[in-house]
Structure 1
Amino acid sequence: MTSLRLDAAGVSDTVIGLVSSSYFVGLTLGALFSDRLIARIGHIRAYSSFASLTAVTFLLQGLHFDPWFWLFFRLVNGWALVGIFLVVESWLLISGDQKMRGRLLAIYMIALYGSGMLGQMKLGAVDAFGHTEPFMIAGMLAALSVLPMVILPRISPEVGHIKPLTPWHLLKMTPTGVIGCFGSGVLIAAVYTLLPIYLQRAGMNVAQVGELMASVILGAMVLQYPVGRWSDKHDRQVVLIALSVLCAVLSILVMLFPHSQTSLTVLLFLLGGGVFAIYPVAVSHSADRSATGELLGMIQGLLLINSVGSAISPLLISPVMAKVGDNGLFLAFCLLNAAQAAFLLWRRRTRPAPVPVAPFEPAAQMSPTGAEIRVTDELVQATMEREHQDDVSQDGPEAGTAPAEAVK
């Protein structure tokens, strides 16, 4: 709604990009530092504080329109929202052991994408109330979210300080994973912040924009699982290359059919499935290379790299739209995916992809604490078995006979 409101007011693409980027900068800062606050004041008080800040920033957006004030409001909003995710995901972790995390992740994904899709579908109905009412409704919902936390009994889990692997370590371990997660962050942020503007300028009203954005999220929710199963049975680098090429082709097709809502619905459904699947496949590829003790730090590090890509995305793409027109969005999509595919092809020739070690798990861009949900018992066991097989192959067949029988 923020991007649509700014565009309707005639704000330049560059300023819209800055305001949009500030939200993702807030997400990144919150992911790095909010865990300390939660550990100090406790989960319930932290959640209440974050939810209150979220409500206040939404209400202030509705009460006062100024792009530069909104930039600050969105920065605080992003920081507060990731704090909410940190609290919720910490509780998810104590709701079951590693064997249950796959089910928790699936339920969490359905709730996350389902609520996002519902919100987009109701965008037109909410906008019909007026310019300020959507922000008021968002503020009220944020305030009401505190009630379950303070009414229902909860045992606060312990939150350890987040220690993701450094970018340089990740680049040495999995360049494909780093580029895939970074590129995914750039693309997904552009989908959320700039695609609504493109659709509005193509002649769609707010209700139609919401419906088309809902088709993007539906594609992300529905297509991740079949793509993931495909990546389990084939080289994950090949899957990432195919997804990048598919997204580039779909971007060209959207530019060719910008005014047909039926065509756009189908194309954006497929584009959402492709763009949102790149991140979990890239993480799964990285897990295939990771040591057991580095799994959590690796996933958290890749999430932060994804967040950095999201933060710079509007700053990179909005000037392209200002320079070449609205089609600059999908031109940038096409070029970014083509460059990603070219890099992955080069990596495939330089170093073959590892054999998948554990079944793919669908995932959204969660908080670093929530990334621990992905470290299931099945993934840890599969990684340990792969490390053992690597040791056996290095020691030779004679040294590895007894351990191999023990694994069986």
Structure 2
Amino acid sequence: MSRQLLAMALAPLLGLFILGIGNGFLATLITVRLDAAGESATVIGIVSSAYFIGLALGAMFNDRLLLRIGHIRAYGSFASLVAVTVLLQGLFFDPWAWFALRLIGGWATVGVYLVIESWLLTAGEQKVRGRLLALYMISLYAAGVIGQLLLGVTNAMGVTAPFMVIGMLASLSVLPMAMIPRVSPLIEHAEPLPPYRLIMLTPTGVLGSLGSGMVVAAAYSLLPLYLQRIGMSVNQVGQMMALVILGAMLLQYPIGRWSDRHDRQMVLIGISGFCVLISAAMLWLPLSMPLLSVLLFLLGGGVFALYPVAVSHAADRAPAGALVRMSQGLLLINSIGATLSPLMISPVMTAVGDAGLFWSFGGLSLIFLLFFSWRRSVRPAPLPVAPFTATTPMTAAGAELVITEELVQGALEHEHLEDLSEAVPDVEVAEPVVGPPAEEDNHIAYYDDVEQVSVRK
């Protein structure tokens, strides 16, 4: 990677890392505080869902704001709003006020991700996207691990200290972006494939993306509740959650390489079966601290790998012209799953007890296992068209990061093997429509609906 490319990517990645440390343990902090205050699992699930609702809304609409005001000012605005919502949560306790603050915070957080991901997207050519995505993934997961480990440290400082630390980190994350030259890259207005088109193209990819959103959101928002209720201290909860994220970080690549060498549907079946076994072990084995640590590490590797393997499987079927819109559509499906998950699983925990979390995990994983097995019997998976790419972007603009040069070339080479004209619309990219420059800088062009898409049967 050239020095120029690294210099352009360094500022947004550093901002992401600083913000991610605080954001990494905020969901855990909110869950354990609500539980300590005596709130039910259902209330905790409702408050947790607000964040994912905000993420979904921001992923759909924040690009319009970014196009108008530019990257640097948008980043400062979103990061400041994250800091304000977190500090307000530290000032007073009310579950329904926290619901509103978490919704606003989710909307602002995905705005930060949008700035970073769109910046990285245009920082280099398509052939270096894989390396940029790897740096992005390392920054995101490393910040999450460090943040979870800081939970116990900051909690020991006082009731409001964790919220103050998270607010300060959100404010500090603005500095790297504020010190770079005032030149913003151009971005395109996202137009993801609609759900019915995605279902026609890749039912396995759709269910894998939806299911991944459900289990990952439950891991972030409800697993800390389970850990605290089985008697762990706040510090221990943070350590266990750090192991979950570390498992996601370290196991995603070997699982992805496995999927490059084998039928990706079989890999999805294997991941689902593995998650069923982990859930059964959590329910029925006597859990010592070492065994629990191993199980949670493996659980993180399993549930976080489901989405990237599902997206890679979907890319094996998609024509080159639909890859970007397909990736954006699957990300939206994933967001819907994350929004629904706490609302669906927390009542189960209220009804049957804390073990309801792993009954839900096991039940969902069994559904995935049966569906993926059925789909493989109906329509076996094609050969992989390109190497696996770890998928961590949070926005539709960033979803394009996974569309590497190898993936496009592979899709072009395999298009003649199967007629996909009925499943995917033909995509035509028109010339950009250039509007007035943004106020922040004359170098920032306003692109209104850059990708003009026409659909014909």
When normalised by structure 2's length, the TM-score is: 0.84
Q: Distance in 2 between matches of 1:89 and 1:258?
A: 43
The answer to whether the aligner puts 1:288 opposite 2:310 as a matched pair is: no
More helix by proportion, 1 or 2?
1
The answer to whether the aligner puts 1:69 opposite 2:87 as a matched pair is: no
* Structure-1 residue corresponding to 2:75: 47
Deviations 1:204-246 (A, max 9, x none): 1011111111111111001111111110111101100110010
Task: Give the 3-state SS of the residue equivalent to 1:122 in structure 2.
Answer: helix
How many angstroms does 1:256 deviate by? Answer: 2.5
Deviations 1:291-339 (A, max 9, x none): 1110000001000100000001000000000000000000000000001
2:397 to 350, 363, 369: 369
Matches within 5 A, 1:321-332: 321-332=349-360
* Structure-1 residue corresponding to 2:435: none
Give the root-mean-square deviation of aligned CA atoms.
1.0
- Preserved CA contact (<8 Å) 1:219 1:270: yes
- Consecutive unaligned residues in structure 2, runs of 5 or more: 1-28, 420-457
Q: Distance in 2 between matches of 1:212 and 1:389?
A: 46
- Preserved CA contact (<8 Å) 2:122 2:186: no
How many angstroms does 1:44 deviate by? Answer: 1.0
Q: Distance in 2 between matches of 1:319 and 1:339?
A: 19
- Consecutive unaligned residues in structure 1, runs of 5 or more: 392-408
1:113 to 129, 137, 141: 141
* Structure-2 residue corresponding to 1:142: 170
- Preserved CA contact (<8 Å) 1:190 1:314: yes
* Structure-2 residue corresponding to 1:223: 251
How many angstroms does 1:64 deviate by? Answer: 1.1
* Structure-1 residue corresponding to 2:31: 3
The answer to whether the aligner puts 1:247 opposite 2:252 as a matched pair is: no
* Structure-1 residue corresponding to 2:61: 33
* Structure-2 residue corresponding to 1:24: 52
The answer to whether the aligner puts 1:383 opposite 2:411 as a matched pair is: yes
How many angstroms does 1:365 deviate by? Answer: 4.7
- Preserved CA contact (<8 Å) 1:180 1:278: yes
Deviations 1:45-90 (A, max 9, x none): 1111101110000000000110000000000000000000000111
- Preserved CA contact (<8 Å) 2:215 2:341: yes
The answer to whether the aligner puts 1:338 opposite 2:397 as a matched pair is: no
Q: Which moved more, 1:382-391 or 1:18-27?
A: 382-391
How many angstroms does 1:268 deviate by? Answer: 0.5
Question: How many aligned positions are there?
Answer: 391
When normalised by structure 1's length, the TM-score is: 0.94
- Preserved CA contact (<8 Å) 2:122 2:187: no
* Structure-2 residue corresponding to 1:175: 203
* Structure-1 residue corresponding to 2:153: 125
* Structure-1 residue corresponding to 2:342: 314
Task: Give the 3-state SS of the residue equivalent to 1:169 in structure 2.
Answer: helix
- Preserved CA contact (<8 Å) 1:203 1:259: no
How many angstroms does 1:131 deviate by? Answer: 1.7
* Structure-2 residue corresponding to 1:263: 291
- Preserved CA contact (<8 Å) 2:59 2:394: no
1:197 to 205, 212, 225: 225
Task: Give the 3-state SS of the residue equivalent to 1:159 in structure 2.
Answer: coil
Percentage of matched positions with identical amino acids: 61
The answer to whether the aligner puts 1:187 opposite 2:218 as a matched pair is: no
Q: Which moved more, 1:22-31 or 1:39-48?
A: 39-48
Q: Distance in 2 between matches of 1:365 and 1:174?
A: 20
- Preserved CA contact (<8 Å) 1:258 1:264: no
Q: Distance in 1 between matches of 2:193 and 2:87?
A: 37
For 1:250, the aligned partner's letter is I
- Preserved CA contact (<8 Å) 2:49 2:342: yes
Q: Distance in 2 between matches of 1:92 and 1:365?
A: 11
Task: Give the 3-state SS of the residue equivalent to 1:369 in structure 2.
Answer: helix
* Structure-2 residue corresponding to 1:162: 190
Q: Distance in 1 between matches of 2:35 and 2:321?
A: 47
Deviations 1:222-280 (A, max 9, x none): 11111111101111011001100100110111123464211111001011000000000
Q: Which moved more, 1:24-33 or 1:95-104?
A: 95-104
Q: Distance in 2 between matches of 1:389 and 1:232?
A: 19
